Amino acid sequence: MKLSIQFLVFLALSVSSQSHATDIITRGSAAEYIEEFTDIGKSAAKLAGIVPGFPVNEAQFLEVVKTTTIEFTENKLISPQGIEVDALNYPAKKLIRVNWNRWFRYRWTMDNRTQLAIHEYLGILKVDDSKYSWSQYLIKGGRLTSVTTCDYEIEGQPYYLNFNNYGATSALKSGGFDMTSGKGTSRAPQSSEPLAITSVNFRWSDIFKGKLEGIEKWGIGMSWQYKNRSLHARITLKQSTEEGNFDLEIFELNNFDANGVLIPRHFMTISCFATKVKE
């Protein structure tokens, strides 16, 4: 039953995203992005009636989608905590403001657009979606099962990586993790940016068919920016779901040989800690 629910989640959100995948090179218009944003909301409303334990039902979610104004803006959006964010929601005004460029930047990672839209609609509904817990619950069709944090320093400044793992292993897919990075620490972030998922070493068909042989070696590669450097790391399913400490190797992807072939260079090793979430 759980696998069938998550397959419906994957199908519904994929269809709503693919219908607007036209902004790969040039930024889309406000009208196009507003339509995409609301279409994601409509798909999410349907899922609210499928996924068990969600705090609002389909009718409540759909009503908010129909009555909320979406506005794309060139202006930077600053949260009450002083952090630049992708979007802000105003429940009293039934208004969601989205930064145009930050939405465009997520054209390669549709899961980030999906999560963002659901998160902002939940804000209008006054559902506490701190750390994207409920939006990810809806997307993944299940609850948060483990949290992995990595706090480290570069040139004396604090930075962090954060991985939230959702659902059973039989439902793992590219968006099975909510991955973020930023300045500060995992407990006191000063900024937050989604990590780009750049590689996986398992087949989607095996997941949907329930073929989980060698699952402990499955892993996801992710990349992020530090100043003008492209950094990359790979986290295995075992590392992210088994409680305890582990080391994560980080590589820099800005080095090429005379023939233009990328040569990853070891950048640093950081310490991470995975914690299982109790039911």
CATH of the domain at 199: 2.40.128
Query: What does residue 193 show for φ and ψ, rounded to 5 degrees?
Result: -135, 135
Residue 70 is part of which domain span? 2-138
pLDDT digit string, tens, across residues 31-68 = 999 999 999 999 899 888 877 778 999 999 999 999 99
> Are residue 123 and residue 151 in the same domain, yes or no?
no
> Are residue 93 and residue 74 in the same domain, yes or no?
yes
Strands 95-99 and 69-73: parallel
Contacts of 200 (CB under 8 A, 6+ apart): 174, 218, 219, 220, 221
253 within 8 A of 264, measured Cβ to Cβ: yes
Q: What is the pLDDT along the chain (279 residues), one digit of tens a residue?
A: 333 444 445 445 554 554 454 566 778 889 999 999 999 999 899 888 877 778 999 999 999 999 999 999 999 999 988 989 999 999 999 999 999 999 998 877 767 888 999 999 999 999 999 878 888 888 876 666 788 999 999 999 999 999 877 654 333 333 356 688 999 998 888 888 888 878 777 665 665 556 667 776 778 888 888 888 889 999 887 787 788 999 999 999 887 778 888 788 999 999 999 988 765
Q: Which helix (H) or strand (E) holds 23?
A: none
- Domain end (from 120, 138, 156): 138
> Are residue 255 and residue 226 in the same domain, yes or no?
yes
Chain length of the chain: 279
Contacts of 29 (CB under 8 A, 6+ apart): none
Helices (H), the chain: 2-18, 30-48, 58-67, 100-105, 110-124, 133-140, 204-209, 237-241
